[in-house]
Amino acid sequence: MATRKNALIAAALAAPLAMGATTASAVLVTEWEYNVDSGFADWNPVGGGESNAVTPSGNNAQLGLPTTLSWGDPSNPQNEQSSISITSDVDAPPADNLVTNVNSVPGATFTHNNFTITDPGDLSLTDFVIANRVELFPAAPPEVDGDPSEVLDPNPILLPSLFWETLNAGDCVIGDQPCGDIFVLQSPEALSTNFTRDGFLYTVNLEIDGLQEFDDDVCNASQLGAGPGCVGLFTEEGQVNTFGTTFSITAVEVPEPGVLGLLGLGLFGIGAASRGRFARK
């Protein structure tokens, strides 16, 4: 009987271990080629004003979205409207692949041409949504390279944002005169997205240069109404303000449901063997 009980225990342990060996064969993608597409998915003028108060232009062919939004009557030496723009398409340089759990690589660039305009309270932008899609192409190790049809396309990162076109004169809530403009990111948690591949959970993290946490008097301003602890960007008046982005990817191995199930069966088998031993005493 002792031999039979030992056999039960051995079998119970062997099943999850065998499955564990299968899971261990999962291959971590260590390097990626990539492509980044960006555009503006939505926008609104101040107070729901004239539909043509904000003019879209440019085009990201992959997303079918504009890459520039312009507004306002120019009142500046450049004779240009204020505008925001984002680079449409970014590809991985040949020698600059994205390495899992190691480096960050350049993404899209966000630019605010903060030029003086007349009547900013009437003809201005009030909010917008950036769509940022990162396509990933497994490049290393050799086991994952060589299939050009495999493209891992995480869900597009959608970044809803508020914008305050401040008056240049008067008291500035941040900085000195002429008062700069303020962007607030409404969902900073959206800067990450994830997907699974072959037993690993990959997380893509987007970082924006210059992103800062504002004081509550900025966040609570009626023109924003963002609430305390808001984060965003500050741009200087009369300047071309450029903010780069970078992104990285991290990975952790995740147990397959089958492994957990077999482990449970294994433990059940051990328990059954033990109960049998005590019952026969």
Residue boundaries of the structural domains of the chain: 2-23+257-279, 28-253
Residue 186 and residue 130 in contact, taking contact as beta carbons nearer than 8 Å: no
The rounded Cα 54 to chain-centroid distance in angstroms is: 26
> 147 pLDDT band (50/70/90 cuts)?
low
Distance in Å from the first CA to the final CA of the chain:
12
* Residue scoring higher pLDDT (28 or 260): 28
> Tell me, what's the pLDDT at 274?
42
For the packed helices 257-279 and 2-24, what is the interaxial angle rounded to 10 degrees? 170
Average pLDDT across the chain, whole number: 83
Which of 28-32, 69-73, 146-150, 180-184 is predicted with the least confidence, judged by mean pLDDT? 146-150
Segment 200-251, tens digit of pLDDT: 999 999 999 999 999 999 999 988 989 999 999 999 999 999 999 999 999 9
Mean pLDDT over 7-26 rounds to 44
Query: So what's the pLDDT on residue 243?
Result: 98
Average pLDDT value for residue range 117-142 = 90
Residues 6+ apart with CB under 8 A from 190: 157, 158, 159, 160
Model confidence over 151-205: pLDDT tens digits?
A: 887 788 999 999 999 998 889 999 899 999 999 999 999 999 999 999 999 999 9
Most confident range, picked from 37-51, 82-96, 227-241: 227-241
For residues 134-157, give the mean pLDDT: 83
Regarding predicted confidence, which is higher, 122 or 33? 33
Q: What pLDDT is recorded for position 264?
A: 54
Q: What is the mean predicted confidence (pLDDT) over 99-119?
A: 95
> Over the stretch 149-163, which tens digit does the pLDDT of each residue have?
688 877 889 999 999
Contacts with 32 (C-beta within 8 Å, 6 or more apart), sequence order: 92, 97, 98, 99, 100, 136, 137, 138, 139, 249
Written as six digits, the tokens of 55 are 């003019």
User: How much of the chain is in helix, strand and coil states, percent to nearest 5?
Assistant: 20, 40, 35
